[in-house]
Amino acid sequence: MTRLSGQTAIVTGASKGIGKAIATRFAAEGANVVVNSRSAERAETAAEAVESEAAEEAPEQAGAVAGIAADVSDYESVERLVDETVAEFGGLDVMVNNAGITDIQPAEEFDPETWREVIDVDLNGVFFGAQVAGKRMIEQGDGGAILNISSMMGDMGFKMRAPYCAAKGGVNNLTQTLAVEWADDDIAVNALAPGFIYTDITDQTQGSAGYTDEDVRKRTPMARYGSLDEMAECALFLVSRDNYVTGEVLTADGGWTADAWRYWADRGE
Q: Tell me, what's the pLDDT at 211?
A: 82
Residue 90 lies in a domain: yes
Residue 16 lies in a domain: yes
Flag whether pLDDT at 266 surpasses 90. no
Residue 80 lies in a domain: yes
CA 89 vs CA 31, 58, 66, 85, 265: distances in Å: 10, 20, 10, 6, 53
Instruction: State how far the Cα of 113 lies from the Cα of 35, in Å rounded to an integer.
Output: 28
Buried b (16+ CB within 10 A) or exposed e, 3-37: bbeebbbbbbbbbbbbbbbbbbbbbbbbbbbbbbb
pLDDT in tens, 9-45: 999 999 999 999 999 999 999 999 999 999 999 999 9
pLDDT in tens, 74-112: 999 999 999 999 999 999 999 999 999 999 999 999 999
In this structure, the dihedral spanned by the alpha carbons of residues 49, 123, 103 and 23, taken in order and rounded to 10 degrees, is -10
Flag whether pLDDT at 153 surpasses 80. yes
Residue 147 lies in a domain: yes
Range of the domain at 31: 8-267
CATH number of domain containing 177: 3.40.50.720
Which residue in 164, 211, 244, 263 is the catalytic one?
164
Residue 3 lies in a domain: no
Q: In the chain, how many domains are there?
A: 1
Q: Tell me, what's the pLDDT at 209?
A: 76
Residue 1 lies in a domain: no
Q: What is the mean pLDDT of residues 200-217?
A: 79
Q: What is the mean pLDDT of residues 119-148?
A: 98
What pTM, to 2 d.p., does this model score?
A: 0.96
Residue 112 lies in a domain: yes
Q: Is 164 a catalytic residue?
A: yes
Residue 2 lies in a domain: no
